[in-house]
Amino acid sequence: MSCPKPRGGTWVFPENDNERVTARVLDGKAVAKQIFDDVANAVADRVAAGRSRPKLATVLVGDDAASRQYVELKQRNARSVGIESVDHRLSAETTTDELLELVDRLNRDETVSAILIQQPAPRQIDMARVVVALDPVKDVDGFHPFNAGLVALGLPGGVEPCTPAGIVLLLERSGVPIEGADAVIVGRSNLVGKPTGLLLLKRHATVTLCHTRTKDLASHTREADILVGAAGRANLISRDMVKPGAAVVDVSTNWVDGRQVGDFGPGVADVAGWLSPNPGGVGPMTRAMLIKNTYEAELRRRP
């Protein structure tokens, strides 16, 4: 069976257009556009009032083609909403100390609102040292321990990581009930799995955090009203592991035969109530939240 395609908010199998399945599309592109439009209006109002224009500084170490493409796309997103951007490219041989020197300059640069260091970096870079060296106010990714701690404690003022924040906002704007829902996150990374669980918990979901070594994973996923796949393993979660009517968010980027796929196997669309496409679901939301975080970083610096 070939992959279903969204038509009019539901998923339709192309070999049988009369067979409509249950899953409504969690349309990351559409929701991301709303966020970009909101930020563009806020930036225009801010500049018209004579206040500072936000500025995003991106840093790319090495010349990885995918990372270069991601950075260029984020730069275009920033410019499209009126945020100034500056790009710093460093050689693949850059040392941690050399990168730290650049971070220090950007921290002290009063024109820079937010700093993005594209990951993954070359193996010789100690990213833990680099992340800690960032000014927490300019930490647009929300990776600094100060921001991560505020998010973990449920305290205000912390920068929420872009992908987890994007997942939660996508659910909210799509009308998925979160309060009181049983949410299962498959994936325990510090970048996606753990903070996604914390943000859902903050919104009063009951959260279970699973991973690839969880015993009887299906017994957990079948109980999920909200099911997030972020383990980075293609076809880890099959259709029989999904609760009928669940909201399914497919986060991971896996490559199979040159094609991008997530963690969910074929047929999930005819079981789920909501389903994010992959690609086109979470990716646009991550970029939108980066732009939103950049604007908010300038608000923290210059209200």
Report cis status (omega within 30 of 0) of the bond before 145: no
At 46, list the tokens.
């801010």
Does 118 qualify as catalytic in the annotation? yes
Name beta bridge partners: 60.
89
**The token pair that represents 194 in the structure block:** 């753990």
Instruction: Please provide residue 290's backbone torsions phi and psi, each rounded to the nearest 5 degrees.
Output: -60, -45
The one catalytic residue among 27, 118, 138, 292: 118
- For the question of residue 17 being annotated catalytic, the response is no
* CB-based contact 99:89 (threshold 8 Å): no
Known catalytic residue at 74: yes
Q: Exactly one of 27, 135, 139, 141 is catalytic; which is it?
A: 141
User: Which is nearest to 288 in space by CA: 29, 17, 12, 21?
Assistant: 29
Q: Give residues with Cβ within 8 angstroms of 84, minimum separation 6.
A: 53, 54, 55, 56, 78
What lies within 8 Å, CB to CB, of 156 at 6+ separation is 150
Catalytic residue annotation: 74, 118, 141
